[in-house]
Amino acid sequence: MDARNRAYGSPRALFAGISCKAMEVRPEGTETILFVDDDELVRKSAAILIASLGYRVLSARSGPEALEILRQDTPIDLLFTDIFMPGGLRGPQLVNAARRLRPELKVLFTSGFFEHAEIRDALDPSIEQVSKPYDRTVLAAKLRRTLSGRGGVADDRRIDGKER
């Protein structure tokens, strides 16, 4: 046995005490999430990440496309939408329109710009937010928290930062 193996043990000995269970990734949920983002790479990678957490994922590239999906009979538990999108409907306007179709729909906002206070302050504070790029653990916690009803139910008095 060389000096390195004597000092640290054999590779087999190093990993003998590690349980395979510790390395397993358990799904977080089984609900359906509608993810809306105009960036194709973000949309595809987020869909893979969300699906790896055990959720069913539907994707839309714009607010109008998301509304078409919401008009169908497909069960959707959560609208997870970017705030800034082209095409006439930004995230907050999409939420407002989606609430007319599905009043109890839970919502989670996302953006790469939450560090700007004026953006955070313009949003409904009762809706959870998660920043891009996504950290798997943070995203899993935000999704579970929102789906469990501990966040994400919009306060209908504030849409786009305006009192109604």
Element holding 39 (H helix, E strand): none
Domain boundaries, the chain: 30-154
pLDDT reported for residue 88: 81
pLDDT reported for residue 146: 95
| HSE (side-chain half, CA atoms, 13 Å) at 92 | 17
> How many CB atoms sit inside 10 A of residue 157's CB?
10
Average the pLDDT over each of 5-14, 37-46, 94-103, 141-150 and give the range with the smallest value: 5-14
pTM of the prediction?
0.73
3 state SS of 70: helix
In the CATH scheme, what is the homologous superfamily, with its name and number, of domain 30-154?
Response regulator (3.40.50.2300)
